[in-house]
Amino acid sequence: MNVLVVQDEAPVASFIKRGLEAEGFAVRTASDGAEGLELARSSDFDVIVLDLVLPTVTGEEILTKLRAGGSSVPVIVLTADHPISDRVAILNAGADDYVTRPCSFSELLARIRARLRTADQTVSTTISCGRVSLDVNTREVRMSGRSVDLTAREFALLETLMHHAGQVLSRAQVLDQVWGYDRDPSSNVVEVYVGYLRRKLRRDVVETVRGAGYRFRG
């Protein structure tokens, strides 16, 4: 799947690119509006992640020009918080989704996958591994058939671990994908939330690999 990220803040663009490439996406980036519009018009992308405040050409202008030209590529606006009226105007102009920063990478990834599922309804929305199943659309989690109530952050952590079931994810990788580019690397938040998951599911569902990170066992 090909993704275009139009974002003028280099750390944000790099964070998104790194995360998406780790998930198997091919990613192109543009740091100003004119370049982003040219790439969007000349290349075949499956989804575009678009900032609104850009040099040379604004994100809203890019969106308007794409839709006026007949492009139906899914566009997810990722930008700083704006008034409700602005968000409504952007969605009415043709955006498929609107995500405010800061946000976790797992949330952005879920929004991207949702847009891609809309284009291809044959893609399953459920992730299953061992005794645990997770539905990305309904946000429902089941453990050995029983429903488990998770907070939004617990769900994001579980989804990230299940997407990489059997693999070891380092603490830094988990922070990147669940807490985002503005996360505090010195915080013990990963350990705390892994503990929450173990209490709500089972202790052996998430394995601590000493000196390496965490592995979902299912």
Q: CA-CA distances (angstroms) from residue 156 to 134, 148, 218?
A: 11, 14, 16
Q: Is the pTM of this model over 0.85?
A: no
Scanning the structure block, which residue is given the tokens 């979902």? 216
Encode pLDDT of 80-130 as tens digits: 766 666 778 888 888 999 888 878 888 898 889 888 876 554 445 788 888
Domains 2-119 and 126-216 share a fold: no
pLDDT of 122: 45
Q: Where are the domains of the chain?
A: 2-119, 126-216
Residue type, 22: A
Mean pLDDT over residues 37-64, rounded?
92
Among the four given CATH numbers 3.30.470.30, 3.30.70.1400, 1.20.210.10, 3.40.50.2300, the one describing domain 2-119: 3.40.50.2300
The correct answer on CATH 3.40.50.150 for the domain covering 126-216 is no
How far apart (Å, rounded) are the C-alpha atoms in residues 133 and 60?
38
Q: Which two tokens stand for residue 108?
A: 């952005």
Mean pLDDT over residues 147-165, rounded?
90
